[in-house]
Amino acid sequence: MLRAKVTIVGLGLMGGSLALGLRLAQRVALNPHATHLTVVDANPETRRAAERLADVVTADFAAGVREAELVILATPVRSIVALLAELARVRPEGCMVLDLGSTKTDICRAMADLPEGFQALGGHPMCGKETAGFGAATPDLYRDKTFVLCRNGRTTTAVETLVLELLAIVGARPLFLPPEVHDEIVAAVSHLPYVVAGTLMRTAFGLGDERTWTVSASGFRDTARVAGTDPQMMLDILLTNRTAVLAQLQRYQSELTEAIRLVQSGDEAALAAWLGETQREYQEYRTLKDER
């Protein structure tokens, strides 16, 4: 069981689920106070909801991190970068740091710039929902999900060991990737799908016919689902991973242009080949995903 003073900054879906998963594991182990948990959040309603969950609940960042051995930053990406600079100011002696941000290059660069007393590891749990906030948090959100870890100039064996212990407690599967590789991959499998879903949603709304929603079924619902993601979080993601997202949007645009050409041409054999190849690629993806 994790025996450390942990502060989670930001008790939304990700930070809240991590806190709930940690507390649940401790109750199962009949050792509910092995980890001293502090929560920092600006929302008074969230703080009230967290009173039974955490040992200390505060809106004061400096007070919340003052005695922490591990600080977990679970806010939007640009806020994490700003908080890392603030952490260096209020904890000049240093501590261990993990973040849960959705893009990693900017964050890991800011981590590497921390003073020598800090030990830091970039993190991104590959799970989530289209709903945000502590009310959507669940203790099993991380279970059996990939949790990407990104080393940087302030990563040590000690912080890796502590973070891996934490991930084992909540049931996540660690995967180490360089920050730039992480950002390129998630641009294709996470950030591009959001833009596509948003475009689909706007296209359907553009029909201006309420009967659209009566006719729509699971295919539309499943494809459009991530359009409901928190806009502030996605704004930070798209702006901090702009180069990789643009590259994937351009690839997507090329594929869409080819699909338009095939439909316009009426070439049944070519269109059937395109559809068949797409289905085979999806089946291969599902097979590989299921094996993991």
Render 109-170 in DSSP notation, one character per residue: HHHHTS-TT-EEEEEEES---S--SGGG--TTTTTT-EEEEE--TT--HHHHHHHHHHHHHH
For residues 28 and 167, state if they share a domain. Answer: yes
Q: Does residue 278 have a pLDDT over 60?
A: yes
Number of domains in the chain: 2
Task: Using alpha carbons, select from 191, 2, 167, 171 the residue that is nearest to residue 100.
Answer: 167
For residues 84 and 216, state if they share a domain. Answer: no
For residues 158 and 79, state if they share a domain. Answer: yes
For residues 188 and 124, state if they share a domain. Answer: no
Q: Does residue 29 have a pLDDT over 70?
A: no
Give the end of a domain, one of 128, 151, 177.
177
**146-150/119-125 β-pairing:** antiparallel
Percent of the chain with pLDDT over 90: 89
Give Cβ neighbours of residue 99 (< 8 Å, ≥ 6 apart): 72, 73, 74, 80, 84, 107, 111, 122, 123
For residues 173 and 193, state if they share a domain. Answer: no
For residues 16 and 97, state if they share a domain. Answer: yes
Q: Does residue 11 have a pLDDT over 80?
A: yes
Give Cβ neighbours of residue 206 (< 8 Å, ≥ 6 apart): none
**CA distances for 8 relative to 22, 112, 220, 270, 289, angstroms:** 11, 20, 36, 53, 31
Q: Does residue 32 have a pLDDT over 80?
A: no
For residues 199 and 151, state if they share a domain. Answer: no
Higher pLDDT, 288 or 47: 47
Q: What is the pLDDT of residues 242-267, one digit of tens each?
A: 999 999 999 999 999 999 999 999 99
Q: What range defines the domain where residue 142 resides? A: 5-177
For residues 161 and 207, state if they share a domain. Answer: no
pLDDT of residue 28: 62
For residues 193 and 169, state if they share a domain. Answer: no
Q: Tell me the average pLDDT across 89-110.
A: 97
Give the end of a domain, one of 177, 194, 217.
177
pLDDT of residue 35: 85
pLDDT of residue 132: 84
For residues 205 and 169, state if they share a domain. Answer: no
CATH assignment at residue 119? 3.40.50.720
Residue 232 contacts residue 102 (beta carbons within 8 Å): no
Give the end of a domain, one of 149, 177, 205.
177
For residues 245 and 282, state if they share a domain. Answer: yes
pLDDT of residue 149: 98
pLDDT band at 33 (very low <50, low <70, confident <90, very high): low
Q: What is the pLDDT of residues 190-248, one digit of tens each?
A: 999 999 999 999 999 999 999 999 999 999 999 999 999 989 889 999 999 999 999 99
pLDDT of residue 238: 96
- Give the strand order in the sheet containing 173-176: 56-58, 36-40, 5-9, 70-73, 96-99, 119-125, 146-150, 173-176
Q: Tell me the average pLDDT across 111-129.
A: 96
pLDDT of residue 241: 97
For residues 215 and 258, state if they share a domain. Answer: yes
CATH assignment at residue 209? 1.10.3660.10
